[in-house]
Structure 1
């Protein structure tokens, strides 16, 4: 599928066990009530090492801001930390929100990550702010938030130019270089790096799906919070896809809310707390992920119960066999080339156990 048939860019994942597609992990670095960001980041290290040892294909973290229950405001910093604690698994952003940053900064950060973990870094890019409008304005130092989203294709083109160090003669950035990067290989005595982070486009609607298709880039869709748009977006991506130097045919990954527990009743208990966290976020009251006990005491309104039921209906949950069956069905319905599993359960041990149970259900090897 990838032009580089060695699979060095991580597009060609090897399917292990009985998994129909490569399985990966999206870590939101959630902070639960009674715990700190330090606890959450330590759990991320444990989870990344578990994912690596059990044959998951890649491990991504996502940029969020001003959310007490999500400690992933700085993906590049977290990925550098995870790179020091893992050896083989691909690491990446799912994603970095490009309009929040100057393209040169992202090229420098991910060039540094590539130097730290050669050949195993992915650069996933989104066009949403990853937060509310006021926080986005503080990040971007402007009240004109639509400018960043509207300029996304131009920002993306600029970022790729920095990554490849190939601005044309006469361009105002021709003599500006992202370091670490290709310029070091063309300098006297320099040695050219054999890798540069592959670019993915992320989305929850049709905009990035179409752009990824036109540019021939791999595409990651946020099924875990936009399930109704999954099939239309993937269809649009495939319909508009043009072969490129990166891919000769489409490659689509979907993020899937997932929770496996030893019994189905426990899964429902955990998801009740996760749904309450989402209700508070959607109603402008973001906080730490509540405990199961707090969620059980909470009196949901009828509207909140309807939201929780609707939200949890899109999370593949239950016993390991139920989760495996649900994931297999979802893959068949969407044709996804890769499933990236994410969990927002409050219990850190519960999240770790969930990935272990899923690995066992698919017969993934233990390294």
Structure 2
């Protein structure tokens, strides 16, 4: 398995694919674009590609990360794939262990299991997902759920535990036949967050941490500092390793980049005001009459996006690494047009001198 490609980038670059659905497109179109994006990321030298769990959002077709990742695994061979993330409070830990054990069996040594503490949706949808009225579990139970999931992944419940006789399969279960151990490896575990809770927990457990800078930029530096201060070496890491999600878009020129970025800004405005839908077209975004309050929101949102021509985006990403000390950048693009998203990742790779085809390099 290949290591991260750096080119002239200060840290490895990766991809967060939200499987966005633009107006005039279908979820099928968005998932086809995800395959194209994964192939682009693999051939151009991006380190990993993650998909994120979202629910009840027409413009985001990634409600089932494990299903999407299985499809992407079938169309790639070296790219790391994972969740950025799966929302642990929404699911029984055994289900996640089985899903990602299956992914690890499909793509050995290539799977990341990134876990989030928030439900990733509204309260009613979260209740429908996990039947909270009967389970009475939520984000506050995250450490206990994480410990249970880890036990299932490692098949390490102690004798006498009520789950000691339950095994997550595929997983590191001792087989009785000639095959022996079913799978000696397990997915690489990450914690994700947009505040200090998961940052501190990841540090205490010695796990890699990914911060959602793309929608919580004001918390980035405090959370990363807390992660590093809390870090304790583990069997996984001997030093802290932190990535940050970055909303970024490169285009041939800054004007076109701005045109596409405003589609994501309008989409986010609608989501935040209870009107989620498909990502609007550039024409619709340009024609929208923003109120002063709406204009303030979209301009604030766009200010947290690194966009422009390739060299402007490179400069913005380099500055972000210098300011945060991030060990990896995970780039995401919330825009309407699939071709614009795909082209952006090509242009960023070009700006950093990544190979045109890593297999031929």
Secondary structure of the equivalent of 1:352?
helix
Instruction: Find the counterpart in structure 2 of residue 5 from structure 1.
Output: none
Counterpart CA distance in 2 for 1:120 and 1:141 is 32
Among 43, 50, 66, the alignment partner of 2:56 is 66
| 8 A contact 2:73–2:81 mirrored in 1 | yes
Q: In the alignment, is residue 190 of structure 1 matched against residue 189 of structure 2?
A: no
Structure 2 gap ranges (5+) = none
Instruction: Find the counterpart in structure 2 of residue 29 from structure 1.
Output: 19
Instruction: Find the counterpart in structure 1 of residue 95 from structure 2.
Output: 105
Instruction: Find the counterpart in structure 2 of residue 312 from structure 1.
Output: 302
Give the structure-2-normalised TM-score: 0.96
Instruction: Find the counterpart in structure 1 of residue 10 from structure 2.
Output: 20
Instruction: Find the counterpart in structure 2 of residue 92 from structure 1.
Output: 82
Structure 1 gap ranges (5+) = 1-7
Moved more, 126-135 or 71-80: 126-135
Q: In the alignment, is residue 358 of structure 1 matched against residue 348 of structure 2?
A: yes
C-alpha distance after superposition, 1:294-349 (max 9, x if no partner): 11111000001100110000100000000000000000100000000000111100
- Write the mapping of 1:295-310 to structure 2, written as runs, cut at 5 A: 295-310=285-300
Superposition deviation, residue 142 in structure 1: 2.0
Among 132, 136, 146, the alignment partner of 2:126 is 136
Closer/same/farther in 2, CA of residues 324 and 145 from structure 1, 3 Å limit: farther
Give the structure-1-normalised TM-score: 0.95
C-alpha distance after superposition, 1:246-303 (max 9, x if no partner): 0000000000000000010111111111101000000000000000011111100000
Instruction: Find the counterpart in structure 2 of residue 338 from structure 1.
Output: 328
| 8 A contact 1:24–1:58 mirrored in 2 | yes
Length, aligned pairs only: 356
Instruction: Find the counterpart in structure 2 of residue 293 from structure 1.
Output: 283
Superposition deviation, residue 148 in structure 1: 1.4
Counterpart CA distance in 2 for 1:72 and 1:153 is 25
Among 47, 52, 73, the alignment partner of 2:42 is 52
Counterpart CA distance in 2 for 1:214 and 1:187 is 37
| 8 A contact 1:133–1:145 mirrored in 2 | no
Instruction: Find the counterpart in structure 1 of residue 192 from structure 2.
Output: 202
Among 69, 82, 89, the alignment partner of 1:79 is 69
| 8 A contact 2:112–2:187 mirrored in 1 | yes
Q: In the alignment, is residue 269 of structure 1 matched against residue 259 of structure 2?
A: yes
4+ runs deviating over 6 angstroms: none
